Structure 1
């Protein structure tokens, strides 16, 4: 019976390591999918509407939301299985919060750029 328990413990440890790697990989994918600050700040266009449309394109989070979802899914499984040490748990939760904040800021900025684009287009039609 002891052999079976040892094997089960080893398998659990191996699975825990794989889940942690999956979380770390998905968080890295999410970070990499976020736009670079220089890309957002360096927009170009022939006129204000072109600049705003360029900005909206550069504010696209790409696959960051899906990668974050994947990280949270694997994190949730690992957390329920009590597969992580406290250090990893704290780091992962902080990174998830940072990425969620960045995604929220991108969403807010994109919404503002869309509203401003509409306002400028409306103003142009009015003048």
Structure 2
């Protein structure tokens, strides 16, 4: 292909297609990096604290945030360059992914709080039981 056969519109069109492909690939990688639903739902733990620790480990968005960042970077660049004919689907998917990652993060924080609260609660209840037993004697 000679230089003369490539005009600016053709090159821009190719670049726009590649940019959209990059955004879609990054979004797919981000969705794939999210925790597996079964890992969040099922537990093999023997007690509540074990279940909470397992859940906290499962609630890790991992590389999904990095892939989302890449998708947003290429999406923003493409949008500003007016490279996308129709980007509503990409924008909606980015928003859905952001919301999902935010939900995972919030759930992880809540589980983290419970992980520290439950042992203290157990200890307080055991002390209350001991005090009750001593009172009964």
TM (norm. structure 1) is 0.90
Query: 2:10 corresponds to which residue?
Result: 10
For 1:104 and 1:4, locate their aligned partners in 2 and report how far apart those are by CA, in whole Å.
49
Query: 1:116 corresponds to which residue?
Result: 114
For 1:7 and 1:70, locate their aligned partners in 2 and report how far apart those are by CA, in whole Å.
28
Query: 1:84 corresponds to which residue?
Result: 84
For 1:61 and 1:21, locate their aligned partners in 2 and report how far apart those are by CA, in whole Å.
23
For 2:95 and 2:30, locate their aligned partners in 1 and report how far apart those are by CA, in whole Å.
12
For 2:98 and 2:22, locate their aligned partners in 1 and report how far apart those are by CA, in whole Å.
18
Q: Secondary structure at the match of 1:98?
A: helix
Q: Could you tell me which runs of 5 or more consecutive residues in structure 1 were left unpaired when the two chains were aligned.
A: none
How far has the Cα of 1:6 moved from its partner?
A: 5.5
Aligned counterpart for 2:102 among listed residues 104, 107, 110: 104
What does 1:46-57 align with in structure 2 at a 5 Å threshold? 46-57=46-57
For 1:71 and 1:109, locate their aligned partners in 2 and report how far apart those are by CA, in whole Å.
24
TM (norm. structure 2) is 0.84
For 2:10 and 2:97, locate their aligned partners in 1 and report how far apart those are by CA, in whole Å.
33
For 1:22 and 1:117, locate their aligned partners in 2 and report how far apart those are by CA, in whole Å.
39
Is 2:56 the counterpart of 1:60? Answer: no
CA RMSD, 1 decimal: 1.6
Q: Secondary structure at the match of 1:46?
A: coil
Say how many residue pairs are matched.
Answer: 123
For 1:111 and 1:7, locate their aligned partners in 2 and report how far apart those are by CA, in whole Å.
53
Give every structure 1 segment of 4 or more consecutive aligned residues whose post-TM-superposition deviation is greater than 2 Å. Answer: 3-6, 124-127
How far has the Cα of 1:54 moved from its partner?
A: 0.2
Q: Secondary structure at the match of 1:85?
A: coil
Structure with the greater alpha carbon radius of gyration: 2
For 1:48 and 1:113, locate their aligned partners in 2 and report how far apart those are by CA, in whole Å.
11
Q: Could you tell me which runs of 5 or more consecutive residues in structure 2 were left unpaired when the two chains were aligned.
A: 127-137
